Structure 1
C-alpha cells in the first residue's frame, strides 16, 4: 500500500471527515467560530448538497446518530421521507416495477431539510442561516468541479431531464474537472431556506414550487405530503462486540444487518485470521450474506409491518448462523440490487459531542429531475418499493421504504471510540464491517482502514450475477482461493469507486482524534 494513504490526520480536540474537502472545511469553519459538532455537521451536510450534488442534495434523505456528553446517550434521527398519500400500487397498474428515474420515481418526500432543523433545534448553538452560509457561498459563487462529479455526470448524464442537464451539462458540454461550477437556482433556494427555516421547505415557497412542478410534470407528491412530513428521534439499535457497544439507526434503516454480522463474527477468532487473507474476506462476506438473507425478508417501514429485531439480534441466533458457515465454500445466496450513491461524514468537537451521519439521493443524481426553478434534484428512493402486494416492502401510501442509509458509532467504556460509515447501498454493511474489524482487531488507524484493499459482494442495477468484486491490490493467491471457494470473483481497479467512499474517526483513551477519508473520493479530514 502507498504509505501516503495510511497516514491519518491526528488532533487533540476536533475532527471533521467527509467525502469533499470543501464540505469538511465548512464544518471546520463552524467549529472555529465557536459552534459545536452539531452545527458543524449540518454545515457539512448542507455543503455536500452543493459540492457533491450527484450523491446528495436537498431533495434527498439523511440518517443521524448523535452523542452529547451532557446527556450521556446516543440518539438516532430518521430523516427519511414517506411516500405521498396519492401514491399506491394502482398508480403503476400494468407495470412490473416503479420506474428507476423520472418524475414517477420521485414519490417520497425529501427528509433532509427537516433533519437539519431537528439537529440544530435539539443541540445546535447557531441558527440555520449561519450554518448554511458556506453552502450558499459555494452554490452562488461556484467551486472547482470534482473529478468524481464529472465522471458520474459522464456515466449518468443520459438519465438527466432537460432542466437538470441544463445545470449539470450546460450548453450540452460536460464541464471540466476543476472548472468553476455555479448553481444559482440552488443558491436562491438555500437563501430562502435560511430566511424562512424548515417551513419554507415543507409549507412555504419551496414547497409550492416543488408541488407546482409535480402537478405540471405528472408527479404524485402533493402540498399536504410535504406539509405533513416529520422526521423522528428514536433509540438506536446496539450490539456488544469485543468490549465495544456498536450503535446503528433502527429500521427502516438496514443498520441491524451490520449488527447481525458482528454477532456472527464474534464466534470466530481473528487472532488466527490474517487481515487481507482468504479467510478474512470469505468470513466477512459469508456472515453478511446471512444477515442480508434475513434483512430482505423483514425490512420495511416498521409502522406497516413488525420487524423481529429481538430474534434477529439474539446472540443465540447468531451462534446458529455462525455454525452454518463453511470456511471452504461460499454459500449460494442472493439479494436485491440497490443504488449506491451516498455521502457519509462525521464530526467530533472539543467537548466530545459526536455526530455520525449519512445522506443520499439514492442513485447518482437521484430521479434525474430538478423541481421547477428550485435547483433541487429529487430523489428516486421510492423506486425501491415493490409493486408485489405480497412483498414485505410493497408500495403503500404514506410509507417509508427499505433504506440503505446507516451511520455507525462504536463506544468503548461508555464513550465514542469510532465513528464510521460509507457510501454504497449493499456495500454499506460490508464496508463498515471491514472498517471496524480492521481498526479493532488489527490496530489500523482510520486512514489505513479506509485505504486498505476492499471487497464487496452483491449486484447493482443491470447486473445479472451476484459477484464478489475484489480490488486488484488483493494478493493473487487470495483471489485464486476466493474463486476456488465458489465466489464469483470480479477483479476491479485499485481504489475502485465501486467500493464506495468510506470515512472514519477514532478517539483513543487519551482523547486524541484520528481521521481518515477515502482515497477513492475528494474528501479531507480536518482537525486540531
Structure 2
C-alpha cells in the first residue's frame, strides 16, 4: 500500500499519496475510495482542494511555482465534463521587440526582469474557484498561512537548490542560510493575507499591483499596471484522445498535452505488454520510445497559443493516422528527426485531486526556471517568473498578450471503472521525464509502466527514467538497467548523459 498520512489544517482533512489517483472495485493497492490529493511536498497535502494545495506548495517549493507565475488546470466534473483553465503568463505590452535576440544569453534569463511575463496564477485560481469551488475564498488560504507563520525549516534536500539564488535565503548579514535554519516569508504572507481578505483583484489592482510593477521595472522588466488589470485566463473544453480502455483528457495548445498524446499514440501501435521489458525485448522497447520522443521534439514549434496561431495543424498530431505514419518510420536503428528548436528548463510543480463524487483536478503550476527569473519583489515577497524564455528558438516573434508554448500537461484519464489523474514537475522534462530531488512525475513512462507493462502504481513511478533532451541527446537516470543500456547503445548513434548518470556512449 502506498504511504498514506492524515493531516488536518483548520477544517480540512485529506489523504497523501504519490502521483496517480485511481478508483477500482474492489479497491487494491494504490487505490483510494473517498478521495486524495497528490502534491510535491508532504506538508502541502493537508488541503483538500488543488488551489489550497498550490498556495501551500508555493511556500514549500518556492523554487518551482507561486503567484508570480502561471498554471493550467484540467478539471473533471462529476458529470464527466472536462474543462481546462489556462492562466499561463502573457507577453507584456511594452516588451522589447528584440528580446528574442538575447536567447543565447542564458545568464540574462536569471539576472534581469526582461523575461518576466504577466503573472496569471491567481486569476486561474479565481476562475477555478468561481466555477467549481465550495469553500470560501479566504478559507483556501487559512491553513497555509497558519502553517507558515513562523517560517519554514530548510532541509538538506532543498539546500542545494537555493545556493546562489535569491536574497530570501540569506540572513541579515548576507550569509546564506544553512540546513535547519528558518526561512521566513513575511512580505509574501502579508500579500497573501490581503488577497485572502480582498480577493485576487487586490493583486491585479491597487497598492500590491503598483508595488509589484515598480519592483519588476527596477529589475529591468517591462510590465505595466495595465498589463495586470487586463490579464484574462483562457477557458476551454479539454481535448479528448482515446487510449485503450481510457478516454484521455488533455489541455489544448499552448500546453504540452499534444506532445504526450502523440507519443502515446505512436507507441500504442507497438502493442507493448509486460513481455516488452523482458530480455532483448526491453532494448527494442526503449529504442522505439526514444525515437518517438525525437519526433515529438520536432513538433513543438507548431504548438502555440491558439489566439495567435491556428490549431488545425496541431490537431493532426493527436490523430491515429499521423501516429501510424510516424511509427512506420521508426526502424531498429537510431535516426534524428526534426532537430527540435527549443531549450530545456526545470521548474514547475503539480497537484492532483480526486473527490468521492468522481470529480477530479489535475493542475500544473510554474515560474519556469528554478526560482524563475531569480527576482524577488521586495515589497510583495513574490518571486517572479522568466516565462518569456519559453519562446526562445521556438518562434521568430511573439505578440502582446500571447502565452508562451508549454510542456505542462495536466491530464485526466477515465474508463468505465478507473479514474487516473496525473501531471508532472520538471519543465521540459514534464512529458518525457525529469528529476527534482526525486519528487518528480514522469508522465510518459509512468503511464506506459502502469497501463502497458503491468507495473503497480508505485513501481511505475519509481522506475528509472530515460529522457531525450532538446538536442535529441539521450539521458538516463541513476539506476537504469546497465546491461540493456549497453545492448541498446550498440545500435544507437549517440548515447550520453547530461545531468543524469552517464551509463554509456558511442
Q: Same fold (TM over 0.5)?
A: yes
2:460 matched residue in structure 1: 449
Q: CA deviation at 1:93?
A: 7.0
Q: Give a deviation string over 1:214-255, Cα, whole Å, max 9, x none.
A: 343332000000000011211112211112111211111121
**2 CA distance for matches of 1:321 and 1:290?**
8
SS at match of 2:384: coil
Q: Give a deviation string over 1:301-347, Cα, whole Å, max 9, x none.
A: 22112131332222111100000001333435532222121111101
Q: CA deviation at 1:109?
A: 0.9
Greater RCO structure (CA 8 Å; 6+ sep): 1
Q: Where does the alignment leave 5 or more consecutive residues of structure 1 unmatched?
A: 32-39, 460-464, 497-528
SS at match of 2:379: coil
Which structure dedicates a bigger proportion of its chain to helix?
1
1:283 matched residue in structure 2: 288
Q: Give a deviation string over 1:16-53, Cα, whole Å, max 9, x none.
A: 1111011112x2xxx4xxxxxxxx11110100111111
1:196 is the counterpart of 2:207:
no
The partner residue of 2:411 within 408, 413, 420 is 408
For 1:220-369, list aligned pairs within 5 A. 220-271=222-273, 272-274=275-277, 277-296=282-301, 298-307=302-311, 308-331=313-336, 333-335=338-340, 336-369=342-375
SS at match of 2:178: coil
Q: Pick closer, same or farther for the CA change 1:393–1:190 going to 2, 3 Å.
A: farther
Of 174-183 and 448-457, more deviation after overlay is shown by 174-183
SS at match of 1:367: coil
- Kept in 2: contact 1:54–1:149 (CA 8 A): no
The partner residue of 2:479 within 454, 473, 480 is 473
2:435 matched residue in structure 1: none
1:510 matched residue in structure 2: none
**1 CA distance for matches of 2:331 and 2:447?**
23
The partner residue of 1:23 within 40, 44, 49 is 44
Q: Where does the alignment leave 5 or more consecutive residues of structure 2 unmatched?
A: 5-16, 19-27, 433-441
Q: CA deviation at 1:279?
A: 2.2
- Kept in 1: contact 2:118–2:231 (CA 8 A): yes
1:43 is the counterpart of 2:41:
no
- Kept in 2: contact 1:252–1:301 (CA 8 A): yes
1:168 matched residue in structure 2: 169
**2 CA distance for matches of 1:428 and 1:290?**
16
2:82 matched residue in structure 1: 74
1:500 matched residue in structure 2: none
For 1:77-88, list aligned pairs within 5 A. 77-88=85-96
**2 CA distance for matches of 1:267 and 1:274?**
16
1:11 matched residue in structure 2: 32
Q: CA deviation at 1:97?
A: 6.0
Which structure dedicates a bigger proportion of its chain to strand?
1
- Kept in 2: contact 1:362–1:380 (CA 8 A): yes
RMSD of aligned residue pairs (Cα, Å): 2.7
Give the TM-score taking structure 1 as reference length. 0.82
SS at match of 2:149: helix
Q: CA deviation at 1:200?
A: 0.5
Q: Pick closer, same or farther for the CA change 1:449–1:102 going to 2, 3 Å.
A: same
**1 CA distance for matches of 2:252 and 2:201?**
27
For 1:90-169, list aligned pairs within 5 A. 90=98, 99-154=108-163, 157=164, 160=165, 164-165=166-167, 167-169=168-170
Q: CA deviation at 1:491?
A: 8.0
